[in-house]
Amino acid sequence: MTQTQRETMDYDVVIVGAGPAGLSAAIRLKQLDAGLSVVVLEKGSEVGAHILSGAVLDTVGLDRLLPDWKNRGAPIDVKVTEDNFYILGEAGKIRVPNWPMPPLMNNHGNYIVSMGNVCRWMAEQAEALGVEIFPGMSCSEIVWGEDGRVAGVVAGEFGRNPDGTEGPGYEPGMELHGKYVFLGEGVHGSLSKQVIAKYALNAKSGPQKYGLGMKEIWEIDPAKHKPGTVTHTMGWPLGKNAGGGSFIYHLDNNQVYVGFVVHLNYANPYVFPYMEFQRFKHHPMVAELLEGGKRVAYGARAINEGGYQAIPQTAFPGGALLGCSAGLVNVPRIKGNHNAMLSGIHAAEAAHAAIAAGRSGDTLSEYDTALRKGPVGKDLKPVRNVKPLWSKYGLATSLVMGGLDMWTNTLGFSFIGTMSHGKSDAEATEKAAKHKPIVYPKPDGKLSFDRLTNVAFSFTNHEESQPSHLKLKDPGIPVAVNLPEYAGPSQRYCPAGVYEFVGTGDAVRFQINFQNCVHCKTCDIKDPSQNIVWTVPQGGDGPNYPNM
């Protein structure tokens, strides 16, 4: 087998991913030294195309990066004016008052934003400083240095046939080398996984935990629209089947973000997260809000939920993990963008100091220390027990114990120390024989929709002539193991209908409709046999989110 010959380009810093973490790092590097060469590689067709977040933004990271962001025209206009929290029953709701909640849970002073649009604006700020940004450039491989460090990435490979061979229009891509390489791929990134495994970066941390977040944008009746209103719910329809909850955020232009998160540590393989989301919209409180409106966009992505005790070592030989690649989401606050920005700033400052001192390719331990000891660590440590309490004791007990623990942590101590997470989300899946199937209502086409109809509103596209970016370690496992033992959970946990079992009896086969993939990576996380490997498709493919 001949080794592919590629052109190379050298930079001071190579950044994978034009999310809030990667763009913050790029901007900060050029602020510190305009002479540094910095490149950002983005797999989406444009910056923001693959960004999906709630999002209520705490501007602490942006305040530090670009203090004059308001004067620069940042698309951050809708300040939170009302903060509501409900526990739902099937037909009713109980309002949880704000006063007993710890101060960190207060959303006043934060903003309801489209992080896709914020990232588009941040890219403009970065380019104005001289950062090179290349969208449509999937980073498919790590370039390893002879000394074992991360020396760069391969980006922009196109034109392989479905069987993996080189097609007539094959383009080998380029090797982009850097003194340091920052991985800001988002949750469970394909390159980040390799680096974490190679350097055993998670040897001293607990297992990362995840949720599946699904989101729709609705245009609603102007009479019902209340800009700045933030509502979160827990309880129905999930009940004891899974942890999770919803968010409803009123932004501008009569639009509302309606989202639903299902924790992926659920045991019952019959749980169908997407259908739980659709059922949620039929609750009287939600149905009344959405009645007469129309859904204009849909998307989904996995969310880091492991928190402080699941953060791996974030610095490695030749680079660093940024943002969700490191798992920096504050679960009870339902926020991670501020920590992503701060991580990019810290990484940039560590790399700048190292390069100024004549270093390259070593481990930026200063970054890892700054992340844990600085504002990110101080944000995540006080809430570290909320998710494990929820997983172990359920919703009601965790609300009381978790709230009390957050309060005591604001005083500098915890009465329960630091709880561990236990099993991975894949290991938490139990055999189907221990559970009963769940019957879900059929979507009505007005409030609730079938998956394939909704996927069309993610504007997802994949060139069908390429190899599937969803790989099976063993092609026989889905039919031989996952179907008889776990009732084929991939046909339910995927929010885009990628996986199907086709046929009956001895003729049943496993089908992967990779064209539908919205890049949420749930399959790579939740598959009980850990048989599915999510990799990048060719650049520019995937969802094309408007203002998610």
pLDDT in tens, 209-244: 999 999 999 999 999 999 999 999 999 999 999 999
**Helix (H) and strand (E) counts in the chain:** 17, 24
Please state the pTM of the whole predicted model.
Answer: 0.96
Tokens, residue 252? 């501008």
What pLDDT shows up at residue 411? 77
Torsion of CA 33, 35, 41, 42, to 10 degrees: 60
So where are the chain's domains? 8-70+116-205+312-382, 449-534
Q: What is the DSSP string of 86-154?
A: EEE-SS-EEEPPSTTS-GGG--TT-EE--HHHHHHHHHHHHHHTT-EEEES--EEEEEE-TTSSEEEEE
Residues 520/212, Cβ–Cβ less than 8 Å:
yes
What is the C-alpha separation between 67 and 338, in angstroms, rounded? Answer: 14
Cα–Cα distance, 28 to 462 (Å, whole number): 34
DSSP state of 294: E
Percent of the chain with pLDDT over 90: 88
Sequence-distant (≥ 6) Cβ neighbours of residue 289 within 8 angstroms: 220, 224, 248, 256
| Angle 434-436-437 from CA coordinates, rounded to 5° | 130
* Per-residue pLDDT at 387: 87
3-state secondary structure of 216: strand
Amino acid letter at 387? K
Give the pLDDT confidence score for residue 1 in this predicted structure.
Answer: 34
Q: What is the number of other CB atoms lying within 10 angstroms of the CB of residue 65?
A: 23
Provide the β-strand partners of residue 158. 171
Across 5-14, 93-102, 482-491, least confident range: 93-102
In this structure, the number of other CB atoms found within 10 A of the CB of residue 440 comes to: 16
Separation of alpha carbons 3 and 427, rounded Å: 38
pLDDT value at position 394?
A: 81
Cβ–Cβ < 8 Å for 523, 531: no
Summarize pLDDT for 465-500 with one digit per residue, the tens: 999 999 999 999 999 999 999 999 999 999 999 999
- The per-residue pLDDT of the chain, averaged, comes to 95
pLDDT digit string, tens, across residues 63-97: 999 999 999 999 999 999 999 999 999 989 999 88
Query: What pLDDT, on the 0 to 100 scale, is given for residue 2?
Result: 45
Q: Class for domain 449-534, per CATH? A: alpha beta
Instruction: Pick 8-70+116-205+312-382's CATH classification: 1.10.3720.10, 3.60.21.10, 3.40.50.300, 3.50.50.60.
Output: 3.50.50.60
Inform me whether the pLDDT recorded for 61 exceeds 50: yes
